[in-house]
């Protein structure tokens, strides 16, 4: 089982966050810390193959359990998971460790937080990496309403708007839930049919009987997730989705622009965030580089860790070289 740094608790934006830190001895390099932001339904442990590798290459790495996840605080109110709170948590995290700016690396929901940090707090952003998650301009309509109109009430994000039901189902059998969620995607079950891949009812059989051949986690890794969610539950993580409409409504006056160095990594077989979603990003993110992982599904850093590490380190070394004392590229 891969060793992952144990957490320490830090205060940020009024909540306690469980922070896993690697390469603290590398702070003297002068480069900005690399902050790894996980998605749903993950925890900082999803970066277990990146944090040690980046630290060994001379990087200072911070991987928090975000608000509502793992060892971090999980406030009850739905509104506590608005994007303003999620981004403020990360700024508070930088303050707590004495860092001025960061390279934000985000996967899934963590990618959305990373892009929002770069947009809302450019002065605290050295660079940003979207892993699967592209920068998306503000849609013309409420995104939940758009998903309901296009995919119907069984789309998972629409279904997540139901209060209490999703978390009750997921928490009933945590091992089954994570065998279902964290599984490999192949060419036969991949991004070809987005409607089916994202529909709750269409995936009910896979949820009840996850296929053994698609399992991504070892039994020991599975238990890490099970224990984390036994503590935190799913209410906080699902509440992130319940703020999508409110986040959209309050973003009307924000600029659709990210002016920092950026990297977009897409995965060929991701049914939730397919590569085509990233088309046209250069209009909003002018300093953008791209990389693509073939034959890879949604859980990119866990499915293809060596490739992700290589891409990240190549970009970091070129744009934020160690020893240069520069946090901007």
User: In angstroms, what CA-CA distances link 19 with 117, 126, 221?
Assistant: 18, 20, 19
User: Considering the domain boundaries, does residue 185 fall inside one?
Assistant: yes
Sheet containing 34-37: order of strands: 7-12, 15-22, 61-64, 34-37, 102-107, 125-131, 262-267, 288-293
Of 38, 108, 155, 270, which residue is the catalytic one?
108
- What does the buried/exposed string (b/e) look like for 289-328 if buried means 16 or more CB atoms within 10 Å of the residue's CB? bebebeebbbbbbbbbbebbbebbbebbeebbebeeeebe
pLDDT tens track of the chain, all 329 residues?
678 999 999 999 999 999 999 999 999 888 899 999 999 999 999 999 999 999 999 999 999 999 999 999 999 999 999 999 999 999 999 999 999 999 999 999 999 999 999 999 999 999 999 999 999 999 999 999 999 999 999 899 999 999 899 999 999 999 999 998 998 876 545 444 555 556 665 565 466 556 665 789 999 999 999 999 999 999 999 999 999 999 999 999 999 999 999 999 999 999 899 999 999 999 999 999 999 999 999 999 999 999 999 999 999 999 999 986 545 44
User: Considering the domain boundaries, does residue 295 fall inside one?
Assistant: yes
Residue 277 tokens read as: 């979603």
User: Considering the domain boundaries, does residue 147 fall inside one?
Assistant: yes
Domain count, the chain: 1
User: Considering the domain boundaries, does residue 328 fall inside one?
Assistant: no
User: In angstroms, what CA-CA distances link 230 with 177, 188, 217?
Assistant: 12, 33, 17
- pTM of the entire structure? 0.94
What's the CATH code of the domain at 253? 3.40.50.1820
CA angle 242, 247, 252 (to 5 degrees): 155
186 is catalytic: no
Of 20, 107, 155, 298, which residue is the catalytic one?
298
Q: Which structural domain, as residue segments, surrounds residue 122?
A: 7-319
- Residue pair 92/13 in contact (Cβ under 8 Å)? The answer is yes
User: Considering the domain boundaries, does residue 2 fall inside one?
Assistant: no
């Amino acid at each position: 089982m891969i060793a992952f740094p144990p957490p320490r608790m830090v205060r940020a934006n009024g909540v306690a966050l469980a922070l896993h830190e690697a390469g603290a001895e590398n702070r003297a390099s002068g480069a900005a810390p690399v902050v790894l932001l996980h998605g749903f339904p993950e925890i900082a442990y999803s970066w277990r193959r990146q944090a040690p590798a980046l630290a060994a290459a001379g990087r200072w790495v911070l991987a928090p359990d975000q608000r509502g996840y793992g060892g971090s605080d999980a406030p009850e109110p739905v509104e506590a998971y608005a994007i303003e709170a999620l981004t403020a948590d990360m700024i508070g995290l930088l303050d707590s460790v004495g860092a001025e700016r960061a390279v934000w690396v985000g996967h899934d929901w963590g990618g959305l937080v990373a892009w929002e940090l770069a947009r809302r707090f450019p002065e605290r952003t050295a660079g940003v990496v979207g892993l699967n998650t592209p920068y998306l301009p503000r849609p013309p309509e409420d995104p939940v309403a758009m998903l309901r109109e296009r995919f119907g009430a069984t789309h998972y994000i629409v279904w997540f708007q139901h209060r209490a039901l999703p978390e009750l189902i997921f928490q009933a059998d945590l091992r089954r839930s994570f065998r279902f969620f964290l599984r490999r995607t192949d060419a036969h079950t991949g991004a070809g049919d987005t409607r089916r891949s994202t529909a709750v009812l269409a995936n009910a059989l896979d949820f009840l009987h996850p296929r053994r051949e698609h399992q991504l986690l070892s039994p020991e890794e599975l238990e890490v997730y099970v224990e984390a969610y036994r503590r935190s539950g799913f209410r906080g993580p699902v509440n992130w989705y319940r703020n999508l409409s409110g986040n959209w409504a309050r973003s009307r006056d924000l600029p659709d622009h990210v002016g920092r160095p950026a990297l977009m990594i897409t995965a060929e077989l991701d049914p939730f965030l397919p590569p085509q979603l990233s088309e046209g990003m250069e209009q909003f993110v002018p300093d953008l580089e791209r990389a693509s992982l073939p034959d890879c599904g949604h859980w990119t850093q866990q499915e293809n860790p060596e490739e992700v590490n290589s891409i990240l380190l190549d970009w970091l070394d070129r744009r934020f070289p160690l020893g240069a004392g520069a946090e901007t590229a």
